[in-house]
Structure 1
Amino acid sequence: MLQLIRDKSSSKVFYITLLVLMTGGLLVFGIGDYSFGGATTYVAKVGKEIITEQDFQQRFDEQRRQMRTMMRDAYQPKMFETPEFKRQLLDQLIDEALIQQAGAAAGLAVTDTRLQAEIAKIEAFQVNGKFDQDRYQLALRGSGFSPRQFEARMRRDMAVKELPAQLAASALVTTGDANNFVRLRDQTRDFRYLALPQSVLADAVVSADDEQKYFAAHAADYVTPEQVAVEYVELDGAALAPAAAPSEADLRSRYAAQAARFGTKEQRLASHILVEVAAGADAATQKSALQKAETLAAELAAGKDFAELAKASSADAGTRAAGGDLGWIEAGIMEPAFEQALLALKPGEVSAPVRTEQGYHLILLREVKPAATKSFEEVRAQLETEFAQEQHNEKLADLQDKLFTVADQANGTLEPLAKAIGGTVQTTPLFSQDVGFGIAMFPEIRAAAFSLEVKTDGLSSEPIEVSKDRMVVIRLAQHKPATPRAFDAVKPEVHALLLSERQQKANREAADAALKRLLGGETLEAIAASLGATVSEGKAVGRQGLNQDRQLLAEVFKMPRPQAGGTIHGLAEVAGKKFALLELQAVHDADPKALDAAAQTAVRDQLRQELSALESAALRKALRARTKIEVNEDRL
């Protein structure tokens, strides 16, 4: 499979992938958006296709939002402004484009049937765990997409995942590979070691002149950072008073108007087998595909298991491994011909070959769920919750509008803003660009506080969103410039640092001398006796051995296998910048036969994943080597 793709990867097919964030009605599908038309500038060109500045900026913004959500208080915007991060992000976009092109060249495609089945599984488009066409249309309108646009972009996102999936499926791990891995992974070792005592240095080894010279050379390291304090007004949606409870009449009116929401359409649990043939194929090719479908239908009629036949014969890579399972399907999801055939079936029946744009399908109807509607009492609690949320959202939106309007007019004080939203003006303690407490713990607040507009021009900030439904406007209250620290104030720190450096140097010299003695023929016991220390040992210790220093253990497992009856000696730097002499006595390989069947399967799966990752990396390298790639660094 890999060689086939490498052979065909000179073909250039345009790649698009998208990140649509859909929280509370929207869901993540992909990242980025590539386009052909109208771009006069680009950050990269992959073959004949371009990645525009807009494409890159969209991915960059999405990555920052994702990292902000993941890192929360630890998020630092400047971490993502580095040239290294931006280039890494661009390389990711280039790799995705290359992989999409290679997949298309190898004939990999996402069928309409699979696409519609995947859409039906998305929670954002479901009501009570089932796909809802109205919810689907509403969610797309809210995100600014037509169904055609969304489905095209989702198809591309799925396509870019198809090739790695095929590589993973083609990765071959033999029993010998798995056994060798187990022998090494579970290997144990016998060893002895001598933890060397630290050298003891007197304070006098660091002179006053040493301290002065070090401080003069590193004065920039001993500065009290610039600090500010800000006044702020905060609008926190979580702190708003709850809305009044709705009346019985309001709830029943809402139920009557939205009854369709609480109903489920008939759903059909289906599987299929696809015999692929292009819509424009010649008559002979279409006839051959039909004959193959009819042959498969005959095998099913003779008692062949549908799922097993799908795994062996279906051309739909997305459902083949699951025996052709398409999940629960509602009317309006599939192509008309497919849907018509599915609706005509009874549970347990298999259709005759059905022609669609992808080819011929054999469809198995496994189960039917009839349409149903929940009663008012069943959804009362949901209606009450939604009513309260709507009231909360309306109130919050009104206050946010006031926040933006008044903040834009604020001049010299935040009091009018506080009055407009029913809040108060508060003041933070001093904080630096890197560390703050209270509201200043948010990186966005610190970045705004040290901005030109707030710190230098004395203006109020724009409303800053620090978390969902929580916004803050700040204004400078106090500024304290960075100030050098006096030598007398930092003298203890300088002394301790220099003493530590010389202590470490002395420890290293003593350790090297001890290792020389060991390699010269002295025993660990003799060296230990001269140093007033003791020798310790480890018997049958594995790579993850408990009660052993991690650095020491890592060095033990780097040492070569000793000859029978012999030993290998070495030196390890261990925790606390200390050292230990090592003596490796024996290596015991694990017995793969000791693993049960489940553990053996887990090993093969692990190796298969690692092998597919290596193959993917090799593929990307090969594609980059044969594809012309232009990068404009100045546009990142």
Structure 2
Amino acid sequence: MLQSMRDNLKGTAAVIVAAFFGFIMVIGGIDFFTGASGGSADAVADINGEKISNLDLQRAIQNRRNLIMSQYGEDVPADLLSDEQLREPVLQQLINSSVMRQAAQDSGMVMSDAAVDRETVQIPGFQVNGKFDPQMYRDALRRMGYSPANFRQIMERDLVLQQYADSVTDSAFTTRADAEQVVAVSMEERDFDYAVLPVQGLLEEMNVSDSEIEQYYQENQAQFQRPEQVAIEYIELKPGLFAANIDISEQDVRAQYEQEVASFRADIRRRAAHILLEEASQEKVAEVQAKLDAGEDFAALAKTYSDDLGSREEGGDLGFTAGDVFPEAFEQALASLEVGQVSAPVTTDSGTHFIKLLEVEDAEPPTFAERKSAIEAQLRNAEAEREFVGALGRLADLAYNADTLAGPAQELGVPLQTSELFSRQGGPGIAANDKVVAAAFAPEAKEDGNTSDVLNLNNEHSVVLRVTEHKPAGVYPLEEVREQIVQRLKRDKASAQLAGRAQELKAQLESGADFAKLAEEHKLTLETSDKTRRGGFGERGEIIARAFALDAPGARGDIVSSFATSDGDQVVLKLRDVRPGQLARQSREQRSALMQQLASVGGGAELAALQKYLANKADIELGKSN
């Protein structure tokens, strides 16, 4: 089937799939299909009998929302995060995942326990300072509502899915002929000379009449369209606005320190290790107990028997606890042990544990010097938070129906701020926030002149605003764009004047004149550009693009061209030589990398085609809400 699809792909535009279903993890906040509730009555889709429940969809939507917020922060437009915006693409991704996973299962693919463990410990969400942390692993699973066994099952399933996708992309290849064709175009080199006739020196000599300005303005109204705009005044509240004015005395700091010391309890921290049997039969529990009774090494037994992949390679070491890390039964058993002692079997929701106390550590209170700066910051922030909350509570009443926000700002002891005009696409500073833009363009603020409600941009950032200026959409008045038009007309006139000189130079070059001598006579700088490849920025990029648009020189000799840049400068260019890129001229490493890149592109296209094929032949039923 794969070969026939390859044949069908030839000659079609390859759709490059950059990272189709890369390894998707829930801890990273990326779309993740749990499949944990398939078969529930509220199914939103049925794919060959496998159901995607509404819970599956909502989880995936929330994970996609978390990913977007992690990328764009609090200022992400609200419509990008709505269920309506995310529902369809996320559901389609779940369907794609389902058909691919089913195909992987049908092909008999499996994943070993060792491979699952290797991938699990590499997940960034389970690591601290780049190293797998058992406690992070357990906490993350607990937050997401997964048991280790359930999470292992999910990991195994999605690794199989990745293995199936890799079997398609890794089998793709490219031919040397394909590579040579790509290199011939992408690494083509051109040799050319050019001289720029700049308009800048002529601008002051150009005269523009009022009638010319008026005519250009009337004939080019589309260039001068102004979007609807507003300007606002606003009061912005943050705890930091109040913290700067708060003084904390050393007496208060010392009083707080003494209170901390008085309430300090020298908590005993215990370091534990365990052997976890998730599904422990009486025979297996007895087997481990017997080996412990016989004096066999606890760490070695943990590596052999423990089902806790996060700690077994460390001999079952779980780190320290102050009595609040593990389940109650676990903590009670640990507290009853002496250092080096192993408990009898202890049962929790995770399974059956054999617990060993490795170490006991007593905590001592820090000194005043160690705590002083932290306490000062704590007291200052606490007072600032109180002032922030108090100001926030008064803000709505003070700003309600206010003709100006100057009075409320003075009453609260914070500055009144203003913005420049901005459109519905936002502007700099506070106007970049989607909530602020929406409130400023709301009819009650824009048209009625009312003060907005208090906008909570986040837990410690609130704003109230009032529109101070409103400009409807339309054409900018002539006076506002007059100077822009004058400069445009002067540039056009100067460029037209230079075009005649450029044409003369072109004709002389085509007659065999020497470019260097012509440039010197006309006081121009001759630029030589050899071994030039495509690309570039600004005017240089425009010149290169025009050079590559010319036909290659033939028997008649060099190709000469003249043209204007977007800035109005005139350019005279002589193309001397064109050399297609040659794969053989690339190093072995470059050739290998290119072949791999082209194969990757082909593999992505094949994977996209396979997914489409599987989806087309699948029996897919969508719920009524879809």
Normalising by structure 1, report the TM-score: 0.57
Aligned CA distance change for structure 1 residues 222 and 28 (closer, same or farther; 3 Å): closer
- CA deviations on 1:14-58 (whole Å, 9 max, x unpaired) are x999763xxxxx54454466765557695x887777778887776
Aligned CA distance change for structure 1 residues 539 and 237 (closer, same or farther; 3 Å): same
Per-residue deviation, 1:377: 8.8
Match of 2:453 among 435, 445, 460: 460
Per-residue deviation, 1:537: 3.3
Tell me, in whole angstroms, the C-alpha distance in 1 between the residues paired with 2:60 and 2:89. 12
Q: What's the counterpart of residue 482 of structure 1?
A: 471
Q: What's the counterpart of residue 607 of structure 2?
A: 616
Aligned CA distance change for structure 1 residues 564 and 85 (closer, same or farther; 3 Å): farther
Q: What's the counterpart of residue 142 of structure 2?
A: 141
Residues 551 and 572 in structure 1, CA contact (< 8 A), matched pair in contact too: no
- CA deviations on 1:294-339 (whole Å, 9 max, x unpaired) are xxxxxxxxxxxxxxxxxxxxxxxxxxxxxxxxxx99932359xxx8
Q: Give the secondary-structure state (helix, strand or coil) at the position aligned to 2:209.
A: helix
Residues 76 and 443 in structure 1, CA contact (< 8 A), matched pair in contact too: yes
Aligned CA distance change for structure 1 residues 29 and 78 (closer, same or farther; 3 Å): closer
Aligned CA distance change for structure 1 residues 2 and 53 (closer, same or farther; 3 Å): same
Q: How does 1:378-389 map to 2 (within 5 A)?
A: none
- CA deviations on 1:366-387 (whole Å, 9 max, x unpaired) are xxxx997696799999x989x9
The code of the aligned residue for 1:475 comes to: V
Q: What's the counterpart of residue 259 of structure 1?
A: 270
1:586 aligns with 2:613: no
% same residue: 20
Match of 2:567 among 573, 576, 580: 576
Tell me, in whole angstroms, the C-alpha distance in 2 between the residues paired with 1:527 and 1:117. 67
Q: What's the counterpart of residue 234 of structure 1?
A: 238
Tell me, in whole angstroms, the C-alpha distance in 2 between the residues paired with 1:372 and 1:177. 63
Residues 439 and 452 in structure 2, CA contact (< 8 A), matched pair in contact too: no
Q: How many pairs were matched up? A: 517
Residues 411 and 460 in structure 1, CA contact (< 8 A), matched pair in contact too: no
Q: Give the secondary-structure state (helix, strand or coil) at the position aligned to 2:454.
A: coil
Q: What's the counterpart of residue 333 of structure 1?
A: 308
Residues 46 and 97 in structure 1, CA contact (< 8 A), matched pair in contact too: yes
Residues 100 and 160 in structure 1, CA contact (< 8 A), matched pair in contact too: yes
Residues 224 and 485 in structure 1, CA contact (< 8 A), matched pair in contact too: no
Match of 1:492 among 482, 488, 501: 482
Tell me, in whole angstroms, the C-alpha distance in 2 between the residues paired with 1:330 and 1:390. 49
Q: What's the counterpart of residue 114 of structure 1?
A: 115
Per-residue deviation, 1:187: 4.3
Per-residue deviation, 1:235: 3.8
Q: Give the secondary-structure state (helix, strand or coil) at the position aligned to 1:203.
A: coil
Aligned CA distance change for structure 1 residues 82 and 423 (closer, same or farther; 3 Å): same
Residues 191 and 539 in structure 1, CA contact (< 8 A), matched pair in contact too: yes
1:225 aligns with 2:229: yes
Q: What's the counterpart of residue 208 of structure 2?
A: 203
Residues 266 and 362 in structure 2, CA contact (< 8 A), matched pair in contact too: no
Tell me, in whole angstroms, the C-alpha distance in 2 between the residues paired with 1:511 and 1:621. 59
Q: Give the secondary-structure state (helix, strand or coil) at the position aligned to 2:567.
A: helix
Tell me, in whole angstroms, the C-alpha distance in 1 between the residues paired with 2:586 and 2:620. 48
Per-residue deviation, 1:492: 0.8
Per-residue deviation, 1:225: 1.4
Normalising by structure 2, report the TM-score: 0.58
Aligned CA distance change for structure 1 residues 130 and 526 (closer, same or farther; 3 Å): closer
Q: Give the secondary-structure state (helix, strand or coil) at the position aligned to 2:238.
A: strand
Residues 207 and 490 in structure 2, CA contact (< 8 A), matched pair in contact too: no
- CA deviations on 1:553-592 (whole Å, 9 max, x unpaired) are 2443455555578545667765636564544332345665
The code of the aligned residue for 1:586 comes to: D
Aligned CA distance change for structure 1 residues 619 and 38 (closer, same or farther; 3 Å): same
The code of the aligned residue for 2:208 comes to: D
Q: How does 1:355-504 map to 2 (within 5 A)?
A: 406=393, 425-431=414-420, 432=422, 434-435=425-426, 439-451=430-442, 458=451, 460-461=453-454, 463-465=456-458, 470-472=460-462, 474-482=463-471, 487=477, 489-493=479-483, 495-496=485-486, 499=489
Aligned CA distance change for structure 1 residues 622 and 495 (closer, same or farther; 3 Å): same
Match of 1:553 among 537, 544, 549: 544
Aligned CA distance change for structure 1 residues 522 and 553 (closer, same or farther; 3 Å): same
Residues 572 and 581 in structure 1, CA contact (< 8 A), matched pair in contact too: yes
The code of the aligned residue for 2:601 comes to: E
RMSD: 6.4
The code of the aligned residue for 1:116 comes to: D
The code of the aligned residue for 2:602 comes to: L
Tell me, in whole angstroms, the C-alpha distance in 2 between the residues paired with 1:407 and 1:222. 38
The code of the aligned residue for 1:114 comes to: A
Per-residue deviation, 1:210: 1.7
Residues 141 and 147 in structure 2, CA contact (< 8 A), matched pair in contact too: yes
Per-residue deviation, 1:118: 2.3
Q: How does 1:118-129 map to 2 (within 5 A)?
A: 118-126=119-127
Per-residue deviation, 1:549: 1.6
Aligned CA distance change for structure 1 residues 411 and 135 (closer, same or farther; 3 Å): same
Aligned CA distance change for structure 1 residues 427 and 209 (closer, same or farther; 3 Å): closer
Tell me, in whole angstroms, the C-alpha distance in 1 between the residues paired with 2:43 and 2:445. 34
Tell me, in whole angstroms, the C-alpha distance in 2 between the residues paired with 1:471 and 1:543. 48
Q: Give the secondary-structure state (helix, strand or coil) at the position aligned to 1:207.
A: helix
Q: Give the secondary-structure state (helix, strand or coil) at the position aligned to 1:476.
A: strand
Q: How does 1:512-523 map to 2 (within 5 A)?
A: 522=511
Q: What's the counterpart of residue 189 of structure 1?
A: 190
Aligned CA distance change for structure 1 residues 405 and 543 (closer, same or farther; 3 Å): closer
Task: Give structure 2 stretches of 5+ with no counterpart.
Answer: 8-20, 277-302, 317-355, 403-407
Aligned CA distance change for structure 1 residues 106 and 493 (closer, same or farther; 3 Å): farther
Residues 251 and 384 in structure 1, CA contact (< 8 A), matched pair in contact too: no
Per-residue deviation, 1:190: 1.9
Tell me, in whole angstroms, the C-alpha distance in 2 between the residues paired with 1:503 and 1:108. 72
Tell me, in whole angstroms, the C-alpha distance in 1 between the residues paired with 2:504 and 2:63. 55
Q: What's the counterpart of residue 279 of structure 2?
A: none
The code of the aligned residue for 2:270 comes to: A
Task: Give structure 1 stretches of 5+ with no counterpart.
Answer: 8-14, 21-25, 268-327, 344-369
Match of 1:606 among 597, 601, 611: 597
Q: Give the secondary-structure state (helix, strand or coil) at the position aligned to 1:226.
A: strand
Aligned CA distance change for structure 1 residues 374 and 45 (closer, same or farther; 3 Å): same
The code of the aligned residue for 2:454 comes to: S
- CA deviations on 1:133-184 (whole Å, 9 max, x unpaired) are 4443323333444445544555555455434433342233566666665665
Q: What's the counterpart of residue 304 of structure 1?
A: none
- CA deviations on 1:173-211 (whole Å, 9 max, x unpaired) are 566666665665554322234546669874239635425
Per-residue deviation, 1:226: 1.9
The code of the aligned residue for 2:306 comes to: A
Q: What's the counterpart of residue 171 of structure 1?
A: 172
Q: What's the counterpart of residue 351 of structure 2?
A: none
Tell me, in whole angstroms, the C-alpha distance in 1 between the residues paired with 2:508 and 2:47. 58
Residues 18 and 154 in structure 1, CA contact (< 8 A), matched pair in contact too: no
The code of the aligned residue for 1:428 comes to: Q
Match of 1:213 among 205, 218, 227: 218
